[in-house]
Amino acid sequence: MSGRGDWKKIATALIAFVVVLGGWWLFQQERERRLAHAPLPGEGGTQGLCALWVIGSSSVHRWTSVERDLSPWIAHNRGIEGATFAQLGPRFASETETRAPEAMILYAGENDIAAGGSARQAIADLEAFLADKTAKFGQTPVFVVSMKPSPTRWKFLAEQGRFNRAAAAIGRQRADVTFVDIVPLLLDKGRPGNFYQADGIHMNALGYGLWAAAIRDALRRYLPSGVVQHCDPGR
């Protein structure tokens, strides 16, 4: 009898476990569904002239000094930790803000390729993002930052290069897209320089400082001079 009782206890415990696990799975599925259709994190922040949306994956999300680094531009960090284009695209498409920023800064695709994706697919996703941008915000400029040469993702450099070259070509073809190549800035004698955190993926303050300088220069060169003089005087 004791053996039969033990089996009943085990069966009851297994049923309870399955019920709890199933409930957790349903909760996660609903959470993912809601997130997939939520706007990008952070306020749109389009308080008049000079607003920038900095959109992207964890390299953007962890850029905690972006407001200071790009000041006096009004920079809004709209990054998502660990995001791929597949996550950024739908959430950008669900954007509820109706007023465009002065410009958008986009960094995305590195996680896609690191997960085994191709540069061709990442470019298709970039083009879909730009199509959504045009539908929502017209000719608002987008500054596409090249994929960075991360030390622990060095084996993906060739595929990243294919993405970067294709993205640069898009920038030459479209008046509303500017390609910002940060690869040479982050290399030292052909290898990643001392611009990364211990994980070999995310950047340190030196790396973000180089990003900020490159983005500032691109904004100054490719946005209308009147806008630059108003938003970043003395530059």
User: By three-state DSSP, how is residue 2 classified?
Assistant: helix
Q: Locate tokens 């390299």: which residue?
A: 59
Q: What is the pLDDT of residue 36?
A: 46
Q: What is the pLDDT of residue 28?
A: 37
Listed residue (20, 29, 53, 43) closest to 142, CA to CA: 53
Q: Locate tokens 């390609």: which residue?
A: 179
CB 199 within 8 A of CB 228: no
Q: What is the pLDDT of residue 93?
A: 87
* 220: CB partners within 8 A, 6+ apart: 228, 232, 235
Q: What is the pLDDT of residue 138?
A: 95
Q: What is the pLDDT of residue 131?
A: 97
Q: What is the pLDDT of residue 101?
A: 94
Listed residue (219, 101, 206, 65) closest to 148, CA to CA: 206
pTM recorded for the entire structure: 0.82
Q: What is the pLDDT of residue 80?
A: 93
Listed residue (34, 40, 134, 128) closest to 83, CA to CA: 40
Residues of the chain scoring pLDDT < 50? 24-36, 47
Q: What is the pLDDT of residue 94?
A: 86
> What are the structure tokens assigned to 163, written together?
């993405």
